[in-house]
Chain A
Amino acid sequence: MFRSKQHFISAALAVFYLFTAISCSNDNDQNDGLAVVPDLFKLGELTGNGLTVEAYSEGPLTVGYHRIWFEVHRDGEQIERPEFSFAPMMHMEAHSHRSPFQSSGQERDPVHGLLETWAIFTMPSGSMGSWHLELTVSDPERGHEALEGDIQVGVDDSNRVITFLAENEERYVLTWIEPTEPVTGLNDLMVALHHRESMMNFPPVTEADIGFEPWMPSMDHGSSNNVDPTHQGNGFYEGAVNFNMTGDWELRFEIGLDGVDLGRHTFELEF
């Protein structure tokens, strides 16, 4: 029952954010003949030099990891292999910064047929600053001038990202990716770990040892048969988490890197 209720809430939120997104992006009412991709949430679009770039995500953006899709077309006609790069940028009053992301999406994802990439939003947008998807796009077949610009997106707060200063005086970004919709029983667990080398550079940490335990603080117990996340590539770590009941849970991570203790970090979860 609660699951359908949650669906209802997500749907209501989606509608709400759709309006927000439309109002703050510089799109022109999606009237260029391209149907909105079903199942995806349109973040906005950028037009110039005869090119149009549309950006999509699975839903309204929140702090955390998001898959992002792009489509580029000229006069309503899809460009099969555009030259394309992307980076998220947070503009704040005093400074700007990026976050972990994948720059180019040359591969088309088989489900939607769109150019797929991803980004981790490390903080919410709002009075602190605003998030922009910076884009550079050109059509290699025509060789026209590249389209450069950005799509401003709203990012709502969540508890899925922890940025921390470790004992080694370095900063890291720990992102909890899966499970997104937890169920009773065993769930896939995925986290990402990035090193904040600078405000603009977040290389993946590929050598970390991550210990994991879910915990129910109100009951003071955990569960059995959880699997510690191990590195799968590009800073992404996969394991498994077992929820033996619904309620308030903590996902407790203990991270070590080359003998350095990067500390214990906890995400809270309720379902």
Chain B
Amino acid sequence: MKLNSLMRTFPILLAIFSLLSAEVAGIQEIKPPVTEKRTDQPMQSKQEFRIAGVVIDAETGAPINGAHILVAESGDGAISDRDGRFTISLKRSDLQMGQSESATESPESAVDKAKTSIGQCKPTIVPIKTAADQPETSFVPTTAAVGQPVAAVNQLEITLVVTHIGYQTRRLVVDNVNDIEQLTVSLVPAQVISEELIVTAGSQGRPFSALYSEERTRPVEDHLSAASGVHLVTRTNFARDPVVRGMRDHRLDVTLDGMRVTPACVDGMDPVTAYIETDNLQSIELNRGGMDELQMNGVPGGSVDFVMRRPELSTGWSGRSEIGFHTVSGQQVYQGSAGYGGEKWAVRSSGTYRNSGNLHAGGGLAITGSELEKGNLTTSVLFQPNESHQLTLRYIGDFAGRIGYPSLLMDTRRADAHIGGLRHLWRVNSGVLRKVETNLYLNRVAHWMDDYTRDVASREVMQNMYMPMYGETLTAGFSSEARLLSGSHLLSVELEAYRLEAFGDMKMIHIDPDVSEMYLLNLGDLTDRRVSLSAGYRYFGFENWIIGWNGRIEQGFYRLRDERAVATFRAEYPGLVEVEPEQTGYRLGLELERNFSERFAAGLKLNEGTRLPGHMELYGYYVYQPLDGFFYHGNPGLGTERSSQAELYLSMEGGESAWDGSLSVWVNRLNDFITGERVDALFKRYENLGRALLTGFEADLRVQLSPGWRAEGSASWVVGEHIELEEPLPMIPPLQGQMSLQRRGERFGVQGRLRWAAAQNRIAAQNSLEAATDRYLLWDLFVRFAPADGVRLQAGVENLLNRFYTDHLNVNSMPGPGRNVHLSLSYSF
């Protein structure tokens, strides 16, 4: 971080210095070069002129904040602001001096010069290519006299070097220099892959930092929990289920590298986090409320996308191994990967194995039945025949043995997931069309669970009954997104289609052998097919405003293929017109951002739309919900759920300051809210039931205290109420947050962290079984030590004081882990 701020300040200082030196040199009057156009209007000629423009990501079109723009000839420079904008004021005198100098130099030395100046900002940047190698296509001066024939004698040429962390450096030769108001510079992401698992939220792409972000033996949820506005539903010591702004399940898109993976357990044991490991991932991209991105989600919660780690080109052989141990559960994790990166293709394979005993709560109480065992294998192959095309084939196989769920009635006996996909990235880099990314994928998840090891005679629900259950899903999908960029207009269009097949059934075997076995279908072999078209638009052309809109239309086609299930729903809903409905959803959004300065911006996002009911809501049958103790029946007659959201945010970028942070305040109103309506003492049915209102905020603040030390804090709060039922929504997290102080050095890092949550007394007392939870405050300490090249030792103590606590989103008030001493050792080559 120290490096970063130095990097940011250096060119500014350089620019100031060079301006000053120009003044000192007293160069006053040099005749400006005259173009044909300008000879007609000689009054416009001036000796000072400016170059203004915007730096964007070549693939996403998103503005890049903090990019360095350097004029190689003069050393003038600027840093792009949060909208990617920059302005450089130049004096012809400086340039002509530079011109005369550089005219005598070879092109290589000019590059060397640029490299040197950048090198001081950031030594790790990828090598700069010569100007000749760079396509000129991103150079779009719109107000300058483009294409005008210029007399050679008047020609003034400058070279802009644009750099940013994580991007390939760009060198642009700009001839015929005059005032340029709109220069669009697109940077191509570098093939430099971070060791860290980066969690981002929103277009700012600000990473949330945890010292353990390089640890691959940690479950992915540990990384996810570092982001504010994300909470996790916990059912055991495994596979915690993300909740964003109080929205989960069918109200949140959780995807793996853009691929939809459908959980197979009807009881929620296997959210997508059950089938991935940290080593599979490169980053986690959050889209809170579905308003941060150009692509719009069909759900009000937004999305969590786990971006998979890609093999790296041109790296030769590489490998990494890590072992980890957690005392709180006796969990051992073994992880290893190997890869080869050639010039045009690369491959990477990795495996992770976990084996854990019982988790212990604070104070030492063992949470019996929380052990687990599982393995995960990943292979990706990347093929890049040229700069424009990249194909990535990836496969994840995840195989779980017994996983105990002390908070549920049952345990996982076995779970298998096979997830495969092919991604094609086409970087067009010319014309209006910038990028086309296409995904084709197929995955199958199978899940077996039972309660054979439980004492069924002494429980209240389904007493004296064993209930082995099986679930299976098959999801196949296609998506293709095109990004178009023209001047300040950025447009994204995406077509998505996917098809889900799901089946689930259960037996009920009474402990009295005279009672005959019972059988029912939880999911009667259904298909849920969706087609959607979405588009997003942003306009960057106004001085201090960004405006944009999003739109999406989606069609859902549902089939219930087992006739027993059809008969069941016909019997359950005698007035039902259509068991296999077709439904249409839409969503529209508006975005407005105002920049008050380089650092401060405020924005407003609005969206409104409908969500199609999910397959569990339509066709789940007899599904036990531990949250309220009811068995839920799906309802094929459900209509769409409408939501209207608004978000107001303030953002403070770091720039040269040590402070940055953001604050988002949001409100989400849901009409025709899909929830369970009580039928009798045992059953609920999904219905479009009135209105719900959620509101809350997320805030975070970072301070660079000194070059080595950094302090961070974040907090989030959600409040939810069902208006007609006149009580709080269940499973809403209380006010909570984190504070951390860390020092990251090359060899040694240390972080102290404080996690806290307020008490949650707003509970759905009538319509659920949830209990109020107390406030808690937990101390964590992490250290990282690199004794030798490639060797890394990480250690930590979480819940240092061994407090007994319960997070509000822990199902059935399962206590959180007690003191956990954690150790991991990794070696990479």
Asked if residues A224 and B572 are in contact (CB atoms below 8 Å), the reply is yes
Asked if residues A183 and B564 are in contact (CB atoms below 8 Å), the reply is yes
Q: Is B146 interfacial (CB 8 A cutoff)?
A: no
Q: Is A186 interfacial (CB 8 A cutoff)?
A: yes
Asked if residues B568 and A185 are in contact (CB atoms below 8 Å), the reply is yes
Partner of A216 from the list B512, B518, B521, B567 (CB cut-off 8 Å) is B518
Task: Report B354 CB to chain A, min CB distance, Å.
Answer: 36
Asked if residues A218 and B465 are in contact (CB atoms below 8 Å), the reply is yes
Asked if residues A185 and B571 are in contact (CB atoms below 8 Å), the reply is yes
Q: Is B41 interfacial (CB 8 A cutoff)?
A: no
List the A side residues contacting B827 at CB < 8 Å: none
Asked if residues B515 and A244 are in contact (CB atoms below 8 Å), the reply is no
Asked if residues A246 and B510 are in contact (CB atoms below 8 Å), the reply is no
Asked if residues B567 and A184 are in contact (CB atoms below 8 Å), the reply is yes
Chain B residue with the shortest CB-CB distance to A270? B516
Asked if residues B518 and A247 are in contact (CB atoms below 8 Å), the reply is yes
Partner of B520 from the list A183, A184, A218, A270 (CB cut-off 8 Å) is A184
Asked if residues A225 and B572 are in contact (CB atoms below 8 Å), the reply is yes
Q: Is A142 interfacial (CB 8 A cutoff)?
A: no
Task: Report A186 CB to chain B, min CB distance, Å.
Answer: 4
State in angstroms the CA–CA spacing of A11 and B508 once bound together.
28
Asked if residues B518 and A225 are in contact (CB atoms below 8 Å), the reply is no
Tell me which residues from 480 to 538 in chain B have a Cβ below 8 Å from any Cβ of chain A: 508, 510, 512, 515-521
Task: Report A3 CB to chain B, min CB distance, Å.
Answer: 10
Asked if residues A244 and B568 are in contact (CB atoms below 8 Å), the reply is yes
Asked if residues B520 and A224 are in contact (CB atoms below 8 Å), the reply is no
Mask: chain A, 139-167; 1 = CB below 8 Å from B; 0 = not: 00000000000000000000000000000
Mask: chain B, 671-704; 1 = CB below 8 Å from A; 0 = not: 0000000011011000000000000000000000
Assuming A183-B567, A221-B682, is B518 touching A248 (CB within 8 A)? yes
Q: Is B790 interfacial (CB 8 A cutoff)?
A: no
Task: Report A219 CB to chain B, min CB distance, Å.
Answer: 7
Q: Is A245 interfacial (CB 8 A cutoff)?
A: yes
Asked if residues B520 and A219 are in contact (CB atoms below 8 Å), the reply is no
Asked if residues B572 and A245 are in contact (CB atoms below 8 Å), the reply is no
Tell me which residues from 224 to 271 in chain A have a Cβ below 8 Å from any Cβ of chain B: 224-225, 242-248, 270
Q: Is A198 interfacial (CB 8 A cutoff)?
A: no
Partner of B683 from the list A216, A224, A246, A248 (CB cut-off 8 Å) is A224
Q: Is A223 interfacial (CB 8 A cutoff)?
A: yes
List the B side residues contacting A219 at CB < 8 Å: 462, 465, 508, 518
Tell me which residues from 563 to 602 in chain B have a Cβ below 8 Å from any Cβ of chain A: 564, 566-574
List the A side residues contacting B570 at CB < 8 Å: 185-186
Task: Report B66 CB to chain A, min CB distance, Å.
Answer: 60
List the B side residues contacting A247 at CB < 8 Å: 508, 515-519
State in angstroms the CA–CA spacing of A186 and B682 once bound together.
20
Asked if residues B622 and A218 are in contact (CB atoms below 8 Å), the reply is no
Q: Is B45 interfacial (CB 8 A cutoff)?
A: no
State in angstroms the CA–CA spacing of A186 and B566 once bound together.
10
Asked if residues B519 and A242 are in contact (CB atoms below 8 Å), the reply is no
Q: How many residues of B contact A (CB 8 A)?
A: 29
Asked if residues B520 and A244 are in contact (CB atoms below 8 Å), the reply is yes
Asked if residues A224 and B679 are in contact (CB atoms below 8 Å), the reply is yes
Task: Report A176 CB to chain B, min CB distance, Å.
Answer: 18
Asked if residues B518 and A242 are in contact (CB atoms below 8 Å), the reply is no
Chain A residue with the shortest CB-CB distance to B520? A245
State in angstroms the CA–CA spacing of A138 and B714 once bound together.
99
Partner of B622 from the list A183, A225, A244 (CB cut-off 8 Å) is A244
Q: Is B464 interfacial (CB 8 A cutoff)?
A: yes
Partner of B571 from the list A223, A246, A248, A270 (CB cut-off 8 Å) is A223
Asked if residues B518 and A245 are in contact (CB atoms below 8 Å), the reply is yes
Asked if residues A218 and B510 are in contact (CB atoms below 8 Å), the reply is yes
Mask: chain A, 202-232; 1 = CB below 8 Å from B; 0 = not: 0000000000000010110101110000000
List the B side residues contacting A246 at CB < 8 Å: 518-520
Mask: chain A, 45-77; 1 = CB below 8 Å from B; 0 = not: 000000000000000000000000000000000
Asked if residues B567 and A186 are in contact (CB atoms below 8 Å), the reply is yes
Assuming A183-B564, A185-B568, is B516 touching A245 (CB within 8 A)? no
State in angstroms the CA–CA spacing of A248 and B512 once bound together.
12
Asked if residues B515 and A218 are in contact (CB atoms below 8 Å), the reply is yes
Interface centre among A184, A223, A242 (most CB of B within 10 A): A184
Tell me which residues from 170 to 219 in chain A have a Cβ below 8 Å from any Cβ of chain B: 183-186, 216, 218-219
Task: Report B684 CB to chain A, min CB distance, Å.
Answer: 12
State in angstroms the CA–CA spacing of A224 and B568 once bound together.
11
Chain A residue with the shortest CB-CB distance to B512? A218
Task: Report A5 CB to chain B, min CB distance, Å.
Answer: 13
List the A side residues contacting B465 at CB < 8 Å: 218-219
State in angstroms the CA–CA spacing of A184 and B516 once bound together.
16
Task: Report B27 CB to chain A, min CB distance, Å.
Answer: 91
State in angstroms the CA–CA spacing of A186 and B567 once bound together.
6
List the B side residues contacting A221 at CB < 8 Å: 680, 682-683
Task: Report A243 CB to chain B, min CB distance, Å.
Answer: 8
Task: Report A101 CB to chain B, min CB distance, Å.
Answer: 33
List the B side residues contacting A223 at CB < 8 Å: 571
Task: Report B596 CB to chain A, min CB distance, Å.
Answer: 59
Task: Report B382 CB to chain A, min CB distance, Å.
Answer: 47
List the A side residues contacting B516 at CB < 8 Å: 247-248, 270
Mask: chain B, 138-168; 1 = CB below 8 Å from A; 0 = not: 0000000000000000000000000000000
Asked if residues A244 and B508 are in contact (CB atoms below 8 Å), the reply is no
State in angstroms the CA–CA spacing of A185 and B572 once bound together.
8
State in angstroms the CA–CA spacing of A216 and B564 once bound together.
18
Could you list which residues of chain B lie within 8 angstroms of chain A, going by C-beta atoms? 462, 464-465, 508, 510, 512, 515-521, 564, 566-574, 621-622, 679-680, 682-683
Q: Which 4 A-B pairs have the closest CB atoms?
A: A185-B567, A247-B518, A245-B520, A186-B571
Can you list 16 A-B pairs, Cβ within 8 angstroms, ordered by A? A184-B564, A185-B568, A185-B570, A185-B571, A186-B570, A218-B508, A225-B571, A225-B573, A225-B574, A244-B568, A244-B571, A244-B622, A245-B520, A247-B515, A247-B517, A248-B515
